[in-house]
Amino acid sequence: MCASVRIRATVTRIVVRGGDIAIGTSFASQFNAKRRFDRESFAMKSKLLAIALLWLVASGCVADPKSSQGFSLPDGDAERGKATFAKLQCHACHTVSGVEFDKLDNTTEPIVALGGVTPQVRTYGDLVTSIINPSHRFALGYPEDEVTTDRESKMRLYNDEMTIAQLIDLVAFLQSHYQVEAYQPTPYMPYY
């Protein structure tokens, strides 16, 4: 005696042989159950991803108190900035690409080059931060022990000596000596 019963589009076969009852499901019903589980799992993952993205967007909309957004100084004068650079004796430890300064006798620190061709833009904010907080980021391409002492920049702080007008002019001077190198993509041969 053999009977087939259709329950929710799942084929179940009940076989009675000598008093034993064997219940089996077809491959199709097992596949449908797995597919249903995958759909539920996918839906749950999609909901979690959507919640995470909403949280990231919402948290990104809150302004950081230390954000530079909305901060800008007036345009400076590069010539006055060059004079400030010399007056503060920045050339004791720095060179500027394409600019010559008089040599100083008391130069013992390594020379850190500023300006020139660079693969990325040196923004106004980068330059201001480097001047008023030199320990924020150290000069790249130099051994750490040459530009730092106890994880602090060797650069002297000029915050109490420099006026805001001098800072603005100094940044204008430095920014005018950086040249961004255009990105050259790697030539790839087509795959056949």
Each domain of the chain, given as residue ranges in start order, spans: 2-57, 78-180
Q: Please tell me the least confidently modeled range out of 15-29, 38-52, 149-163.
A: 15-29
Alpha-carbon distance of 33 to 139, in angstroms, equals: 60
Average pLDDT of 27-54? 70
pLDDT value at residue 56: 74
pLDDT value at residue 12: 46
Residue 35 has pLDDT above 50, yes or no: yes
pLDDT value at residue 140: 79
Burial 96-119 (b: 16+ CB within 10 A, else e): beeeeeeeeeeeeeeebebbeeee
Q: Please tell me the least confidently modeled range out of 30-34, 67-71, 170-174.
A: 30-34
Looking at CATH, the fold of the domain delimited by 78-180 is given as: Cytochrome Bc1 Complex; Chain D, domain 2 (1.10.760)
Q: Is the pTM higher than 0.75?
A: no
Residue 25 has pLDDT above 60, yes or no: no
Q: Please tell me the least confidently modeled range out of 12-21, 127-136, 165-174.
A: 12-21
Angle made by CA atoms 41, 47, 51, in degrees to the nearest 5: 145
Q: Average pLDDT of the chain?
A: 76
Alpha-carbon distance of 90 to 92, in angstroms, equals: 5
Residue 170 has pLDDT above 90, yes or no: yes
Residue 80 has pLDDT above 80, yes or no: yes
pLDDT value at residue 67: 58
Residue 9 has pLDDT above 80, yes or no: no
pLDDT value at residue 174: 92
pLDDT value at residue 57: 73
Tracing tokens 């919640």 back to the chain, one arrives at: 51
